[in-house]
């Protein structure tokens, strides 16, 4: 087995848990946040820098790499780790979410999805077998089952149909997957209908995946809707397997997810919002482009020890963003990832000392 | 005196020379190439990385910083070094060249230049006194006299008039300059007319600047025209002062400049061309976007020990550039600066062993 997961402590007043996840030769502590490297690069940073910020596992998009430069080319290169020179762990998602969110979806049937590329409109078909083949070519450590994602507001029949398909596809993914050095995770769907989520969970648990994700959340729904599903189904995911909440990455949502027993998270939020000049501080996010920072010669966040906060002033970051300098986007990305890593590390410590609820409340009181 | 310059070896068959330039607490070897950090950042790189590539002194543009964020703000920040967190040395140019090349020149008279900002069309006046004040506010180690630059093809009378003005402005710059921790260099003008260059040189040498630049070259003239002026006036610049050839930075021109006794160079070429995917190799420049690199899993330059060449393949760099990833521009900039630094270091060694002509010929034979 390529992964090994142990829960080593459980919080006493929430469902939060502290775990150790061994992935190949790497070992990391959970809960863990995975920076997103959509196109085999965490935008603007070198692999060394991602490690410096505390990143140990990144998410890369099978959909994007399948289109450009092609998953076969990456196989030829010796796999994703070698291609992008990343010594940490990698999780690829299957493309199901990107077909739903980015591509023009052309046809859905039990066989698979036909879609048009968001780059050039070219036609492609993804079946469960194809999605697994692509991910075996890419060679990530953890790969995801191919699912049909549905948006918020979809009616019950449509959601049920997508769920039925997702379960059948999950079986086909398991069949198609032959690389023993990869762990294939299942994705619980069912939209925002609790009985469909329940059914999806049961069907997938019967298949005994080595890890489970909650998918189809963070798709534009009101925050309470996500929390309803999360609060019920986070704790219901198998206790002895890593639990992964897909697409979640604000400090508030990470803390909420942890308190519901989630072990893994990914989101473009810290990196994408960073590139627009939106930076995490203990008192909430600030937009560094704001003119009040023009001659603010203090550091971004006093309590942060990252190279950005120790080396540069807000005035300089403001200047870089106003002048659209690349270095601004880099430093913002670096700081935001460092900040989230720090949050996760503090949260893990709090879980270990049965103090997570207090930590969460104090963090949020200052942050909001 | 803020700088101290010693020639420690002279080549036997060319005018090339090896020197030590002490600037404040920093000491560097010449000939030296200065990466350009137009807006107080070498585009895409952190100061640490500029040091890693071998950069010891950078050029920053007074014109750009005067417009944004303002030289007074940088003075308030504690000067350029602190503002941008750069521990090396800094040279600022005076803005004369940028008014000529970037801004809309509105009025020239003996008092100074009135120009419109290239950003928003706003009107500004630069006099020698103003240009020096701006550079004193910025606080670089070496600053440049305010000159009137003229383009290739300008008639004799116009060139003579600009030269006359440049000499008078040089005097006013010396008068206005009061910071003892900065060295003010003079700029020899005179367009492509040897007798005007001769006159400019004589007039400036009489003023005893601590360093001299050849300005008004690399302004769009045929390469032979620059070489004609360089071959005569490089060696004629005072032997005991640093000699600086402004705006030059291709490997060919650097080698040519060194053989004419030049000690300092600056150019946006390695960084700007790098950001378009044009990368230095021993066999000449390649454009990494070219499809022949799509599945080329070899390193960019076998003989280069920079982190880009040791960590990534051409195929990955190709992918980054094709996908317009920021990391591509970063890595290209890093490699190109490292490559030029390496070239300069090799050239210095060759000068030290009376072997520069051979080194130059061998490098160019492989490069072209």
- Coil, strand or helix at B33: strand
Q: Mean per-residue pLDDT for A174-202? A: 98
Confidence of residue A105 (pLDDT cuts 50, 70, 90): confident
Angstrom distance (rounded) from CA A124 to CA A93: 17
Residues 6+ apart with CB under 8 A from A161: none
CATH superfamily of B3-267: Queuine tRNA-ribosyltransferase-like (3.20.20.105)
Angstrom distance (rounded) from CA B85 to CA B228: 40
- The mean of the pLDDT values for chain A is 97
Cross-chain Cβ contact B294/A69 below 8 Å: yes
Cross-chain Cβ contact A44/B327 below 8 Å: yes
Residue among A47, A69, A315 with most chain B CBs within 10 A, to mutate: A69
Cβ atoms of residues A116 and A139 within 8 Å:
no
Angstrom distance (rounded) from CA A128 to CA A170: 8
Task: Quote the pLDDT of residue A1.
Answer: 61
Angstrom distance (rounded) from CA B234 to CA B254: 12
- How many residues does the structure list for chain B? 368
Q: Mean per-residue pLDDT for A169-197? A: 98
Task: Quote the pLDDT of residue B1.
Answer: 61
Cβ atoms of residues A90 and A60 within 8 Å:
yes
* Nearest of A5, A4, A18, A24 to residue A86 by alpha carbon: A24
Other residues' Cβ atoms within 10 Å of the Cβ of residue B54: 19
Kindly identify which residue of chain A lies nearest to residue B333, measuring between CA atoms: A326
Beta bridge partners of B144: B185
Task: Quote the pLDDT of residue A2.
Answer: 83
Task: Quote the pLDDT of residue A147.
Answer: 96
Tokens 């025209």 belong to residue: B225
Catalytic-residue membership of A266: yes
Task: Quote the pLDDT of residue B104.
Answer: 86
Tell me which long-range contacts A231-238 makes (C-beta under 8 A, separation of at least 24): A231/A260, A232/A194, A232/A197, A233/A188, A233/A197, A233/A201, A234/A15, A234/A260, A234/A261, A234/A262, A235/A15, A235/A260, A235/A261, A236/A201, A237/A188, A237/A201, A237/A212, A237/A261, A238/A205, A238/A212
Task: Quote the pLDDT of residue A106.
Answer: 87
Angstrom distance (rounded) from CA A25 to CA A32: 17
Cβ atoms of residues A47 and B307 within 8 Å:
no
Task: Quote the pLDDT of residue A325.
Answer: 98
Cross-chain Cβ contact B322/A39 below 8 Å: no
DSSP letters, A115-148, are EE-TTT--EEEE-HHHHHHHHHHHT-SEEE----
- A312 chain-B contacts, CB cut-off 8 A: 85
Q: Mean per-residue pLDDT for A231-251? A: 98
DSSP letters, B239-294, are TTS-EEETT--SHHHHHHHHHTT--EEE-SHHHHHHHTTEEEETTEEEETTSGGGT
- A322 chain-B contacts, CB cut-off 8 A: 68-69
Can you say how many angstroms the Cα of residue B1 is from the centroid of all Cα atoms in its chain?
A: 22
Cross-chain Cβ contact A41/B330 below 8 Å: no
Cross-chain Cβ contact B327/A41 below 8 Å: yes
Kindly identify which residue of chain A lies nearest to residue B46, measuring between CA atoms: A327
* Nearest of B365, B362, B355 to residue B16 by alpha carbon: B355
* Alpha-helical regions (H) of chain B: 47-52, 62-67, 71-76, 80-84, 96-101, 128-138, 156-176, 194-207, 223-236, 251-259, 269-275, 307-311, 314-322, 326-352, 356-367
Residue among A63, A326, A335 with most chain B CBs within 10 A, to mutate: A326
Angstrom distance (rounded) from CA A326 to CA A320: 8
Angstrom distance (rounded) from CA A56 to CA B353: 49
Task: Outline which parts of chain B fall under CATH 3.20.20.105.
Answer: 3-267
Residues of B with catalytic annotation? 93, 266
For chain B, 368 residues long, give each residue's pLDDT as a single digit of tens.
689 999 999 999 999 999 999 999 999 999 999 999 999 999 999 999 999 999 999 999 999 999 999 999 999 999 999 999 999 999 999 998 998 899 888 899 999 999 999 999 999 999 999 999 999 999 999 999 999 999 999 999 999 999 999 999 999 999 999 999 999 999 999 999 999 999 999 999 999 999 999 999 999 999 999 999 999 999 999 999 999 999 999 999 999 999 999 999 999 999 999 999 999 999 999 999 999 999 999 999 999 999 999 999 999 999 999 999 999 999 999 999 999 999 999 999 999 999 999 999 999 999 98
Task: Quote the pLDDT of residue B346.
Answer: 98
B277: its two tokens = 């995917």
Q: Which among A41, A77, A311 has the least Cβ separation from residue B315?
A: A77
Angstrom distance (rounded) from CA A151 to CA A304: 37
**pLDDT at A283 > cutoff 80:** yes
Q: Which among A46, A294, A320 has the least Cβ separation from residue B41?
A: A320
Helix A194-206 with A156-176: angle, nearest 10 deg: 10
Cβ atoms of residues A199 and A159 within 8 Å:
no
Q: Which of A94-103, A285-294, A312-321 has the lowest mean pLDDT?
A: A94-103
Give the tens place of pLDDT for each residue, A296-330. Answer: 999 999 999 999 999 999 999 999 999 999 999 99
């Amino acid at each position: 087995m390529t992964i090994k997961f142990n829960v080593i402590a459980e919080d006493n007043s929430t469902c939060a848990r502290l775990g150790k996840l061994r992935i190949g030769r790497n070992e990391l502590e959970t809960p863990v946040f995975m920076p997103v490297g959509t196109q085999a690069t965490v935008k603007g940073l070198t692999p060394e820098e991602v490690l410096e910020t505390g990143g140990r596992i990144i998410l890369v998009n099978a959909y994007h790499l399948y289109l450009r430069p092609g998953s076969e080319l990456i196989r030829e290169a010796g796999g994703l780790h070698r291609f992008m020179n990343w010594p940490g762990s990698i999780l690829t998602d299957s493309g199901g979410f990107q077909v739903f969110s980015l591509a023009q979806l052309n046809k859905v049937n039990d066989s698979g999805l036909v879609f048009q590329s968001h780059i050039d409109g070219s036609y492609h078909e993804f079946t469960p077998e194809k999605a697994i083949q692509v991910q075996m070519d890419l060679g990530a450590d953890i790969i995801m089952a191919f699912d049909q994602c549905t948006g918020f507001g979809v009616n019950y029949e449509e959601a049920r149909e997508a769920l039925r398909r997702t379960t059948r596809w999950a079986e086909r993914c398991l069949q198609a997957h032959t690389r023993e050095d990869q762990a294939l995770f299942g994705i619980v769907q069912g939209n925002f209908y609790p009985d469909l989520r329940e059914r999806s969970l049961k069907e997938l648990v019967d298949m005994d995946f080595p890890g489970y994700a909650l998918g189809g959340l963070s798709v534009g729904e009101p925050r309470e809707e996500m929390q309803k599903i999360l609060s019920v189904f986070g704790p219901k995911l198998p206790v002895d397997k890593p639990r992964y909440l897909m697409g979640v990455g604000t400090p508030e949502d990470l803390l909420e997810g942890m308190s519901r027993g989630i072990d893994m998270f990914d989101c473009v939020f810290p990196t994408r919002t960073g590139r627009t000049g939106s930076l995490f501080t203990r008192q909430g996010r600030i937009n560094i482009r704001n003119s009040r920072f023009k001659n603010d010669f203090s550091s971004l966040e006093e309590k942060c020890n990252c190279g950005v906060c120790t080396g540069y002033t807000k005035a300089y970051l403001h200047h870089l963003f106003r002048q659209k300098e690349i270095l601004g986007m880099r430093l913002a990305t670096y700081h935001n990832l460092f900040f989230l890593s720090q949050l996760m590390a503090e949260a893990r410590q709090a879980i270990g000392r049965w103090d997570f609820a207090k930590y969460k409340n104090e963090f949020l009181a200052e942050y909001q």
